[in-house]
Structure 1
Amino acid sequence: MSGLRILVPVKRVIDYAVKPRVNRTQTGVDTNVKHSMNPFDELSIEEAVRLRERKTPVQEILAFSAGPAKSADIIRTAMAMGADRGIHVQCNEGEELEPLGVAKLLKKVVEGEKSDLVILGKQSIDDDAAQTGQMLAGLLGWSQATQASKVQIEGDSVTVVREVDGGVETLKAKLPMVITTDLRLNEPRYASLPNIMKAKKKPLEKKTLKDYGLDTAPRLKTVKVTEPPARKGGVKVDDVDGMISKLKELGAL
């Protein structure tokens, strides 16, 4: 088998440590806050790099993102972590791509770059859709394994361990394949300063949606976004009888 051509999609999202706030117009959340790479995508880049470090034949690791101009920073971070080059499809600020549109776009990239393995986060923490990987596998007609907690590749055979409600499940499939990553897969490395400087010299190709000739118009419309209701404070009880009485009063018993 020749070296793997791995595609790793990465997304710029509101940093996981920032508490989202609904904007004044109630059309979405306030995006004028710190952004970073989607945590599940960090796992994907790390796993692709680790496959190479485990002596799995890897010809190239390509980081890809579609989003506003600042998404290029996320691709640079991916390259500092070990990706070889990047492609940035620049969208207008506020132009959101739905999972199906992203899957169609990734299909075009896979075909153009002749990728044979796609590793992507199981979901992004902004919309929590968890649909893109499955849609991409369906469009490509490839095998898929979701929520991977362990990945092993021998030749063209891929073994993926994933956690399920009853324990763990082990899947085997042949390349080409789509894998989505879960939090137990690995611990992403920090991009060191020397690698950040080297990433600035790695090729980053700029494209637009028109270059791919796709219809990515939204099919869904957000009607309204509101804050969840504030939680009411708890009450203290003196003993078990008091707790039972309170639960009956609340209709819990």
Structure 2
Amino acid sequence: MTNAPALTDAAAPRLAAPNRVLAVRRLGLVPYEPAWALQEELLAATVAIKTGNRQAQAAGTAPAPTPNHLLLCQHPHTYTLGKSGKPEHLLLDAAGLARHGATYHRINRGGDITYHGPGQLVGYPILDLDNFRPDIHWYLRTLEEAVLLTLAGYGLRAGRIAGLTGVWLGWEEGASNPRKICALGVKCSRWVTMHGFALNVNPDLGYFGHIVPCGIADKAVTSLAQELGRPVPVEEVQERLLPHLLQLLGATTA
């Protein structure tokens, strides 16, 4: 029995070097649907590159690097329901939505219902996790950790609650008033992510009263402004969070 010959350098599959550069877009206040469409466009373009790279590997030609994007924005009053969510967790009918100037969208991320609105920092990373670490649980914990470090910079000791994605105050076991300050919901296609996190900075928390937030009926929602007792600019929080996320990912900006 003879051993198969080893692949020569010319015959070995060629892999693209990991690209850990993020193209960051600060979109400001933008309606939900255009931001969602932009995410879908960027994800589709990245998946198309990855499909082409598989063909390039088979042909022994050089693959192309895949891009990474980070969209930072706020939305007008919006409710979104994830794939596993229950429509009854929205407590407003069409007339009620209109009275509150809010829109409603059923979308393709995981999770239940959540609220987006002015004063909330929303981050949509469209990352090829093959450039970082192809592990969705690691990715979610990384987003949470960036928020935890940001809140620590404001003197808040936030944390996680076992079995509940997101970032919480009053998270310690036995705490009397657990309250969520940041929600997470993502989609991943061929290790390319979309959707992301929503950190309550200065939103009108009354809008959370029209849903069962993330399907959790027995816990409260809070904001950075409510916890500190003063307003905080969303742009300030945005620029404090970005370096933490970059460091945790081992990434740089374009």
Q: Is TM more than 0.5 here?
A: no
TM-score (norm 1): 0.27
- Which structure is larger by alpha-carbon Rg, 1 or 2? 1
Higher helix share: 2
